[in-house]
């Protein structure tokens, strides 16, 4: 049996939202999508720090956007995507949760 | 090309953006965050709301990333600390010695600080800036007892005072109830005293205006006396006690810890009527300033009082009339306070010396690690990292040393407490408390910076290329030689100064403690008593003394017994003496001499005897048959070596009342030196009067135990005997004569012992420093010494190369240190116990001791240098 993987709720949320974006997402777009999905405001700092951590673990990666946005005054724009490892972790986490849920339908409805 | 923002929509203020960039992570990540913010900024409607949003959003980010950075820094520091600890533990001996040295350095000022803060502790007063003390000015800083009519009713009219209390202090015997009579510190007070101190009785009441002079006049007990003598029983209120033989009613108990105006066990009302008629100047005042009034304002009013007194014909000296000060300043004078601070500062030298030692050690360690440092720098370790590592090492050592220092301080404070028990005012409380701990923490921080900063900065400046090429030999990449040598000179100078001052203090203590003459002290039990003037006239006092001595003499375990007005080796009163055949024009021209009243057995009790002539008898001194003894010093200095036997003397009468004259008395014997006068005083002359001639009321009984008997085992017997003779008479200060003499100077002795300990610690540390430097030099130059030896250098030449510099530093340090001592020692004033602060003999000894220590420190490195094995040395890498 594989080691159970527990992803933090927010980490999971970030990863899944990134995947839903379909392609590498800029942070602003990612945040808009997450706020839309969660129907609440997402703290900028929390999001950046979570992305930092996910990046350290190797579950997300980013590249610099080629597009030149004049409003940014020449500052780069990062586009994040979920890595293969990140997808594997999501799967493992889903399996762990599914195992934990299994058999409790009678109790939880 | 730099992209321009769309026209009409300006960016946020540039400085703000730049600040943001600094606070966020470096590189693409941080820049992109700022970019994201700017992009969002431009998506929003311009206006105040956008500005606010930007502030909130950006500060949120800044806070979060600052927290991240702080956490990382802390982790780094903890890691550096752990590394340093591990490195230190790899060399336990060296680390242990370092920690011990620094610990000593911290303990020295720590202890002195505890002592000083204990001695200068403030008495707990309500509104301390309004409680003032008024009395007679004796010296610029001493204000004390004054004649009653100077204070009253003058002070009562001073409108800047809300309430005035007068008091005089006394010691009286408390009798009645169970147990022996007990000697008490008593304050006779007017009701205003309690009001001025802002303290009321904890049980019962204090005094009212009608209490003075009333039948069975009331008394108020101190809490501690109530607990110890009356078992804390509330029924004591309204009960009767016997104070100096007369019945008094207990009306109140003061709160715990209250003993003002100082060491008071019992308060009794002061009868102002009687006081105004009395002939003694024994009064002081405590008062509370009215709202808004100042001490300066009061001083002006007091000056006006002085002027009025002069106009009334009182003899008020120009600089010595009444004076006022804040009450809390009356407890310890500004000069004493300054002297105590100087002591803390001086003892701080020990820490400086220890720091210099450790600094040199860490420099040497940094030097031996310079290759490692160079490699790390070459591999990209930042300067901050290198500095941080060294500081962490110093911090770890200092913290360990702080713990050692704390333990040493606690031990020293306990010794101080034990040695001075009962000798300090009741509010003085020497202990390791929060201020002491904070002071210690500051010392630890100082030590860490003092020992770590220089090696840290030095090694962060390492020249990588040179270092890696040079291979760390000879330390050419580090310029620490001059610094280390300078440090050692400084160390020697400081320890020399410290030791010189300690030696002066010790000399003062030794002189003042030396018992003058040889007599029995440890076998003699002594106790004081005072016959109540109201119950004893001359006749009955004479009878009491004689009965006491005679009852004691026959008892088993008692070899001899006597009474005396003053115990030898402690203190005697002085009086003017007129010598027949040497007339003086005015009575004030007659010379002084110490005067002691003694019973006939005084000499034999001390295992002494007359050198010439005879001892006194009970018949001497009664009704004109005046016989006295004089001591050798009196013969030498007052009689000019004329044959003393048969010379007639007349002692000036006690008191100032006119019409009393003292009879002529004949010298019948000469006694050896038996410790008259305060120790260390210059006048050693003394006259011994038979106690029957002037039956003193304040006396001490001396009982010499028979061989094999512990003098203290005679205490119960002595107490029972005295109680049988007079149940209201208390014995107090019961101890051996040796114990008395020691206790008399306990505080001073402890101070000089502390100073000597710290001075020796400084000496040791400076010696270690010199040794360390020389040993290090020899080790580093072993190759050079080998070459020199190989080339045929003489041993002398080798010695000069190896340790010549050390001797030069020793000389320089000694000169500087003695110079420093000459400048600073006089500031210690009274703490020197009368010794000359610039005593050349003492300085000579100190220089000798330090010089010797220096030579010893240099000897081992010198030996090693001389024994350099040429082949071995040349092979050394």
Which residue in B has a C-alpha nearest to residue A27's C-alpha?
B36
Which residue, A3, A1, A28, A25, is CA-closest to A15? A25
For residues B767-796, one letter each, b for 16 or more C-beta atoms within 10 angstroms of the residue's C-beta and e for the rest, the string is bbbbbbbbbbbbebbbbebbebbeeeeeee
Which of A25, A45, A79 to mutate against chain B (most B CBs within 10 Å)? A45
- Report cis status (omega within 30 of 0) of the bond before B261: yes
The alpha carbon of residue B146 and the mean position of all alpha carbons in its chain are separated, in whole angstroms, by 29
The whole-number pLDDT of residue B344 equals 86
On chain A, the residues whose CB falls within 8 A of the CB of B61 are: 44-45, 48
User: Does B231 reach chain A within 8 Å, measured CB to CB?
Assistant: no
**Residue ranges of chain A whose pLDDT lies below 50:** 1
Q: Tell me which of B68-72, B183-187, B217-221, B835-839 is least confident.
A: B835-839
Nearest-CA distance A76 → chain B (Å): 5
State the DSSP H helix or E strand holding residue B596, giving kind and residue range, or none if neither: strand B592-598
Hey, are the CB atoms on A69 and B35 less than 8 Å from each other?
Answer: yes
State percent of chain B over pLDDT 70.
Answer: 93
**Dist. CA B769–CA B358, nearest whole Å:** 8
Nearest-CA distance B55 → chain A (Å): 13
Which residue, B104, B761, B434, B617, is CA-closest to B753? B761
Residues B772-827: pLDDT tens digits? 777 777 777 777 777 888 888 888 888 887 777 788 888 898 999 999 988 888 88
What is the pLDDT confidence band of residue B658, given thresholds at 50, 70 and 90?
very low
On chain B, the residues whose CB falls within 8 A of the CB of A74 are: 2-3
No. of H helices and E strands in chain B?
Answer: 26, 22
Nearest-CA distance A108 → chain B (Å): 39
User: Does A28 reach chain B within 8 Å, measured CB to CB?
Assistant: yes
Residues A3-12: pLDDT tens digits? 666 788 899 9
Nearest-CA distance B380 → chain A (Å): 22
Sign of CA dihedral B860, B863, B868, B872: negative
Contacts of B149 (CB under 8 A, 6+ apart): B276, B314
**Dist. CA B223–CA B204, nearest whole Å:** 12
The alpha carbon of residue B845 and the mean position of all alpha carbons in its chain are separated, in whole angstroms, by 25
Hey, are the CB atoms on A64 and B38 less than 8 Å from each other?
Answer: no
B653 against B343, higher pLDDT: B343
Hey, are the CB atoms on A48 and B64 less than 8 Å from each other?
Answer: yes
Hey, are the CB atoms on B5 and A28 less than 8 Å from each other?
Answer: no
Hey, are the CB atoms on A45 and B33 less than 8 Å from each other?
Answer: no
pLDDT at residue B111 greater than cutoff 50: yes
Contacts of B792 (CB under 8 A, 6+ apart): none
On chain A, the residues whose CB falls within 8 A of the CB of B3 are: 68-70, 72-74
Residues B465-476: pLDDT tens digits? 666 655 544 444
Which residue, B688, B653, B712, is CA-closest to B568? B688
**Dist. CA B247–CA B185, nearest whole Å:** 17
On chain B, the residues whose CB falls within 8 A of the CB of A79 are: none
* Nearest by CB: A77 against B4, B32, B61: B32
Nearest-CA distance B91 → chain A (Å): 38
User: Does B11 reach chain A within 8 Å, measured CB to CB?
Assistant: yes
Which residue in B has a C-alpha nearest to residue A78's C-alpha?
B32
The DSSP bridge partners found for residue B613 are B669
Which residue, B340, B409, B351, B447, is CA-closest to B111? B409
Give the A:B interface size as CB pairs under 8 Å: 68
Residues B584-594: pLDDT tens digits? 887 778 888 99
**Dist. CA B153–CA B869, nearest whole Å:** 92
Nearest-CA distance B73 → chain A (Å): 17
On chain A, the residues whose CB falls within 8 A of the CB of B41 are: 71
Contact B116, B341 (CB under 8 A): yes
What is the pLDDT confidence band of residue B22, given thresholds at 50, 70 and 90?
confident
Q: Which of residues 17-76 of B touch A (CB under 8 A)?
A: 28-29, 31-36, 38-42, 57, 60-61, 63-65, 68
* Interaxial angle between packed helices B92-119 and B48-90, expressed in degrees from 0 to 180 and rounded to the nearest 10: 120
User: Does A74 reach chain B within 8 Å, measured CB to CB?
Assistant: yes
On chain A, the residues whose CB falls within 8 A of the CB of B8 are: none
On chain B, the residues whose CB falls within 8 A of the CB of A73 are: 2-3, 5, 11, 35, 38
What is the pLDDT confidence band of residue B480, given thresholds at 50, 70 and 90?
low
Q: What is the CB neighbour count within 10 angstroms for residue B504?
A: 27
Contact B495, B762 (CB under 8 A): yes
Residues B214-244: pLDDT tens digits? 667 899 999 999 999 999 999 999 998 999 8
Hey, are the CB atoms on A77 and B63 less than 8 Å from each other?
Answer: no
On chain B, the residues whose CB falls within 8 A of the CB of A75 are: 31-32, 34-35, 38
On chain A, the residues whose CB falls within 8 A of the CB of B28 are: 64, 76, 78
Nearest-CA distance A12 → chain B (Å): 21
User: Does A73 reach chain B within 8 Å, measured CB to CB?
Assistant: yes
Hey, are the CB atoms on A28 and B29 less than 8 Å from each other?
Answer: no
What is the pLDDT confidence band of residue B252, given thresholds at 50, 70 and 90?
very high
Nearest-CA distance A3 → chain B (Å): 30
Look up residue B779 and give its two tokens. Answer: 């080790």
What is the pLDDT confidence band of residue B623, given thresholds at 50, 70 and 90?
low
* Nearest by CB: A72 against B39, B63, B68: B39
Main-chain phi, psi angles of B556, to 5 degrees: -65, 145
State percent of chain B over pLDDT 90.
Answer: 30
User: Does A75 reach chain B within 8 Å, measured CB to CB?
Assistant: yes
Nearest-CA distance B375 → chain A (Å): 29
The percent helix, strand, coil of chain B (3-state, each to 5) is 55, 15, 30
Please state the pTM of the whole predicted model.
Answer: 0.69
pLDDT at residue B729 greater than cutoff 60: yes
User: Does A35 reach chain B within 8 Å, measured CB to CB?
Assistant: no
User: Does A40 reach chain B within 8 Å, measured CB to CB?
Assistant: no
User: Does A53 reach chain B within 8 Å, measured CB to CB?
Assistant: no
Hey, are the CB atoms on B35 and A73 less than 8 Å from each other?
Answer: yes
Look up residue B394 and give its two tokens. Answer: 């110093």
Hey, are the CB atoms on B39 and A78 less than 8 Å from each other?
Answer: no
Radius of gyration of chain A (CA): 16
Residues B487-532: pLDDT tens digits? 888 888 888 888 888 888 888 777 766 666 788 889 999 999 999 9
Which residue, B876, B868, B866, is CA-closest to B786? B868
Q: Please provide the average confidence, as pLDDT, over all residues in chain B.
A: 84
Hey, are the CB atoms on B6 and A70 less than 8 Å from each other?
Answer: yes
- Cα diameter, chain A: 58
The whole-number pLDDT of residue A49 equals 93
What is the complex's ipTM, to 2 decimals? 0.89
On chain B, the residues whose CB falls within 8 A of the CB of A77 are: 32, 35-36, 39
Hey, are the CB atoms on A77 and B29 less than 8 Å from each other?
Answer: no
Contact B677, B512 (CB under 8 A): no
């Amino acid at each position: 049996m594989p080691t159970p993987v527990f992803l933090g709720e927010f980490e999971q949320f970030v990863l899944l939202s990134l995947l839903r974006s379909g392609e590498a997402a800029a942070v602003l777009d990612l945040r808009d999508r997450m706020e839309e999905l969660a129907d609440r405001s997402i703290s900028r700092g929390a999001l950046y720090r979570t992305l930092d951590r996910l990046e350290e673990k190797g579950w997300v990666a980013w590249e610099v956007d080629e597009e030149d946005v004049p409003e940014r005054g020449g500052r780069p724009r990062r586009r994040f995507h979920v890595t293969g490892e990140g997808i594997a972790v999501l799967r493992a986490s889903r399996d762990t949760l599914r195992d934990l849920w299994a058999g409790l339908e009678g109790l939880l409805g | 090309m730099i992209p321009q923002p769309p026209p009409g929509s300006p960016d946020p203020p540039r400085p703000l953006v730049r600040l943001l960039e600094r606070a966020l992570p470096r590189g693409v990540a941080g820049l992109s965050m700022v970019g994201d913010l700017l992009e969002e900024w431009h998506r929003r409607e311009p206006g105040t709301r956008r500005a606010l949003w930007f502030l909130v959003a950006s500060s949120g980010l800044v806070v979060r990333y600052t927290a991240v950075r702080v956490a990382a820094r802390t982790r780094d520091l903890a890691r550096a600390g752990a590394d340093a600890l591990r490195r230190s533990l790899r060399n336990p001996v060296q680390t242990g010695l370092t920690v011990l040295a620094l610990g000593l350095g911290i303990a020295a000022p720590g202890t002195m600080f505890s002592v000083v803060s204990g001695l200068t502790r403030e008495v707990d007063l309500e509104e301390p800036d309004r409680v003032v003390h008024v009395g007679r000015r004796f010296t610029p800083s001493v204000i004390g007892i004054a004649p009653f009519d100077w204070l009253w009713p003058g002070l009562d009219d001073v409108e800047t005072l809300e309430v005035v209390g007068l008091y005089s202090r006394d010691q009286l015997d408390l009798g009645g109830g169970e147990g022996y009579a007990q000697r008490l510190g008593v304050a006779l007070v007017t009701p205003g005293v309690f009001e001025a101190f802002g303290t009321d009785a904890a049980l019962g009441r204090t005094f009212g205006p009608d209490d003075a002079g009333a039948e069975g006049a009331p008394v108020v007990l101190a809490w501690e006396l109530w607990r110890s003598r009356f078992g804390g029983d509330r029924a004591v209120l309204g009960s009767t006690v016997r104070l100096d033989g007369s019945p008094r009613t207990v009306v109140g108990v003061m709160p715990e810890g209250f003993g003002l105006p100082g060491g008071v066990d019992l308060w009794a009302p002061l009868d102002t009527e009687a006081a105004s008629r009395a002939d003694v100047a024994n009064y002081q005042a405590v008062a509370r300033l009215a709202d808004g009034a100042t001490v300066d304002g009061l001083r002006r009013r007091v000056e006006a009082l002085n002027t009025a007194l002069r106009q009334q014909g009182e003899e008020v000296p120009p600089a010595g009339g009444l004076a006022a000060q804040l009450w809390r300043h009356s407890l310890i004078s500004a000069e004493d306070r300054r002297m105590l601070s100087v002591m803390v500062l001086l003892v701080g030298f020990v820490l400086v010396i220890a720091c210099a030692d450790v600094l040199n050690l860490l420099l040497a360690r940094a030097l031996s690690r310079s290759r490692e440092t160079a490699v790390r720098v070459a591999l990209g370790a930042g300067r901050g990292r290198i500095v941080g590592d060294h500081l962490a090492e110093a911090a770890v050592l200092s913290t360990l040393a702080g713990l050692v220092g704390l333990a040493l301080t606690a031990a020293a404070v306990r010794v101080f407490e034990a040695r001075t028990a009962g000798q300090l005012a009741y509010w003085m409380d020497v202990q390791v408390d929060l201020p002491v701990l904070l002071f210690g923490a500051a010392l630890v921080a100082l030590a860490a910076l003092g020992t770590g900063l220089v090696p840290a900065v030095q090694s962060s400046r390492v020249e990588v290329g040179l270092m890696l090429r040079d291979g760390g030999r000879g330390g050419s990449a580090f310029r620490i030689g001059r610094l280390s040598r300078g440090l050692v000179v400084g160390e020697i100078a400081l320890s020399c100064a410290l030791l010189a001052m300690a030696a002066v203090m010790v000399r003062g203590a030794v002189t003042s403690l030396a018992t003058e003459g040889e007599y029995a002290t440890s076998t003699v039990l002594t106790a004081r008593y005072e016959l109540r003037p109201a119950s004893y006239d001359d006749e009955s006092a004479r009878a009491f003394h004689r009965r006491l001595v005679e009852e004691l003499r026959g008892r088993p375990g008692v070899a001899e017994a006597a009474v005396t007005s003053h115990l030898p080796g402690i203190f005697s009163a002085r009086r003017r003496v007129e010598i027949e055949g040497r007339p003086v024009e005015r009575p004030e021209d007659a010379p002084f001499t110490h005067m002691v009243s003694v019973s006939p057995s005084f000499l034999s009790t001390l295992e002494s005897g007359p050198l010439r002539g005879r001892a006194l008898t009970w018949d001497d001194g009664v009704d004109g048959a005046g016989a006295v003894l004089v001591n050798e010093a009196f013969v030498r200095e007052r009689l000019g070596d004329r044959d003393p036997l048969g010379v007639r003397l007349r002692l000036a009468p006690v008191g100032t009342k006119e019409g009393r004259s003292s009879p002529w008395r004949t010298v019948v014997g000469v006694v050896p030196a038996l410790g008259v006068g305060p120790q260390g005083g210059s006048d050693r002359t003394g006259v011994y009067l038979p106690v029957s001639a002037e039956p003193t009321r304040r006396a001490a009984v001396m009982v010499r135990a028979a061989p094999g008997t512990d003098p203290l085992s005679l205490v119960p017997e002595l107490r029972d005997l005295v109680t049988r003779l007079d149940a209201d008479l208390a014995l107090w200060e019961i101890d051996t004569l040796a114990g008395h003499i020691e206790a008399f100077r306990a505080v001073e002795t402890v101070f000089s012992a502390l100073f000597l300990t710290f001075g020796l610690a400084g000496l040791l540390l400076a010696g270690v420093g010199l040794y360390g430097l020389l040993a290090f030099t020899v080790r580093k130059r072993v190759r050079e010494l080998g070459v020199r030896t190989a080339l045929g250098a003489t041993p002398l030449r080798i010695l000069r190369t190896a340790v010549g510099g050390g001797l030069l530093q020793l000389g320089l340090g000694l000169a500087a240190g003695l110079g420093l001592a000459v400048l600073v020692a006089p500031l210690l004033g009274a703490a020197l116990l009368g010794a000359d602060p610039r005593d050349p003999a003492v300085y000579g000894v100190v220089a000798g001791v330090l010089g010797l220590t220096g030579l010893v420190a240099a000897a081992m490195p010198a030996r090693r240098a001389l024994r350099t094995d040429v082949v071995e040395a040349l092979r050394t890498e």
